[in-house]
Amino acid sequence: MSKRLKELQQKQHDLKQEATALLDKADADQDGVLTAEQEARWKAIESEQKQIAADIAAEQAKIDRRRSLDAIRTAAPSIEQDAPHVPAAVAENIQHGTAPSAAPLRLGLGNQVLTPGGMARLMQAVQAAMPNVDPIVLHGGYQNIAELAVDVRNACRPSGGESTKLRAFTQAMAKYNAMNAGPVRAAPSNYHEGGGASGEGYELPIAYREMIWELVFALDDILTTVDLEPTEARQVGYLADESTPWGATGVQANWRVEASQMSASKQASKFRTMDLHELYAFVLATEELLADAPRLASRLTNKAAQAINWKANDGIIWADGVGKPKGWMNSAALVTVAKESGQAADTVVAANVLKMFSRLWVAPGDSPYWIANRDTVPQLATITVGDQPVWMPPNALISAPGGILLGYPVRFSEHAKTIGDLGDLQLVSPRGYYAARRTQGVNFASSIHLYFDYAIEAFRWMFRFGGQPHLSAPITPANGTNTKSHFVALAERA
């Protein structure tokens, strides 16, 4: 997700909060009737929201174009030769203590694997762009994450202790946190497992922390398309309004006969809470691997990021909400389109996709897409309406590497079930899913005592992440009986 898109979405969220507060004040003071000043501000907010929605759509289109280029497999340039550029704006944010959470450092890694030399050059680039930040806070004094891991391992041994380098980093980070204390800052959780008040491990240096997030968000695009916000809390509270302009609740508009009394209405807001759950990667390393820095660095960064990315994306779609996010496929908001009468098992027919298309409710400013298992390709390729194909395969359509289905791009994913099962074909408006990730750093810990007799170390990454659909149930349309939702799936065809 680009920095500009995050800024636009944050501004959209702020305007929505301001509009809600304005209506609440009118309800409390004037029985819901806006004053002239409030009416003027309301119209200004409406105008700004329309412009922001257009800007978000344009920015999302640019991201989709770049994403389509990422799908083209080419030989990636070595990070050894070219150190990544760190934007000056990001450097300024980090100097003021905001970047670790509000503006993640975009390192431009894509799907590349860091080499030891590339990591050293990366550190040089980060330090050059942020001269006013103590270098120890940026990289901990370590040449690569494998060196840091070995130091953490030694500190976490029952008979071990912190090295001079690790102690210096711990003290520097505590000082940095104290200086940048405010609404957005990293958490001072610099205690090793079993030895400190938090028990959550050592906080990572800024550069490594942002590198991990960069890798997580570069691997798959489902996570970056949902309505994702940063937070410092372990539980998020927010107001939800699922009323429609034609419904019986919420803000209403009515015709008025001259001199007759007006009927008041107000927002149908409900307070909701969402927990952020622990998401971790538990990595085992033998003594041999600990002595092999390049392999250890890969396993602790690229491999851990791949595992975390997979689990987060799978949770957004399939998790049951018990100790994890609420996935849209397990939510009451899901609309399931039944199979056709007499439809053969493990097939997809034109009526299936047409009915799915008709049941989608598009979130404002969103770019819907299909999620499909590649097992559906033989079926999609043969579907026609009249003599026109329903699915248009890529064939140089670089804006949609998976092709186009009824005007929306197709994204093939292993998160979709195999052909014939519920979830093999989904149509989603991803911004209908609200998610939050905790900004207070990435914690890293090591333990040896569980595997002492096997000469194996255990390393653990710990994050907090939560999510659930904005809708608690499908929407009833103004006309007709077929409900609609941000999430539509084709029922099982067994």
How does 36-67 read in b/e, with b if 16+ C-beta sit within 10 Å?
eebeeebeeeeeebeebeebbeebbeebbeeb
Q: Which helix (H) or strand (E) holds 228?
A: strand 227-231
Q: How far is CA 363 from the centre of its chain?
A: 16
- Regarding beta strands 487-490 and 456-469, do their DSSP bridges make them parallel or antiparallel, or are they unpaired? unpaired
For 319, the token pair is 């998790």
Q: What is the pLDDT of residue 131?
A: 62
Q: Cα(293)–Cα(140) distance, rounded to whole angstroms?
A: 17
For residues 207 and 98, is the Cβ–Cβ distance under 8 A? no
Q: Give the pTM.
A: 0.60
For residues 49 and 20, is the Cβ–Cβ distance under 8 A? no
Coil, strand or helix: which one is 304? helix
Q: Which residue bears the tokens 């034609």?
A: 246
Q: Cα(359)–Cα(474) distance, rounded to whole angstroms?
A: 10
Residue 312's closest CA among 427, 442, 467?
467
Q: Which helix (H) or strand (E) holds 434?
A: strand 433-438
Q: What is the pLDDT of residue 375?
A: 96
Per-residue pLDDT tens, the chain, 494 aa: give them.
567 877 888 888 888 888 888 888 888 887 778 888 888 998 999 889 889 888 888 887 777 666 555 444 444 333 333 333 333 433 333 333 333 333 333 333 333 344 445 455 555 655 565 566 666 766 667 766 667 767 776 776 656 667 878 777 777 767 766 665 443 333 333 322 333 223 445 556 666 655 555 556 555 568 889 998 888 788 888 777 787 888 878 878 888 888 888 888 777 777 888 999 988 887 777 767 666 666 666 666 777 778 888 899 999 999 999 999 999 999 999 999 999 999 999 999 999 999 999 999 999 889 999 999 999 999 999 999 988 888 987 764 555 678 899 999 999 999 999 999 999 999 999 999 999 988 655 566 655 545 555 566 677 777 889 999 999 999 999 999 999 999 999 999 98
For 363, the token pair is 């979130």
CA-based radius of gyration for the chain:
25
Q: Which helix (H) or strand (E) holds 209?
A: helix 206-219
Q: Which helix (H) or strand (E) holds 354?
A: helix 350-358
Dihedral angle sign, alpha carbons of residues 418, 423, 429, 435? negative
Each domain of the chain, given as residue ranges in start order, spans 1-70, 88-221+275-322+439-467, 332-435+470-490
Q: What is the pLDDT of residue 167?
A: 77
Coil, strand or helix: which one is 263? coil
For residues 61 and 8, is the Cβ–Cβ distance under 8 A? no
Residue 457's closest CA among 282, 325, 271?
282
Name, in order, each residue with C-beta under 8 angstroms of 461's C-beta and a sequence gap of 6 or more.
212, 280, 281, 283, 300, 304, 308, 442, 443, 444
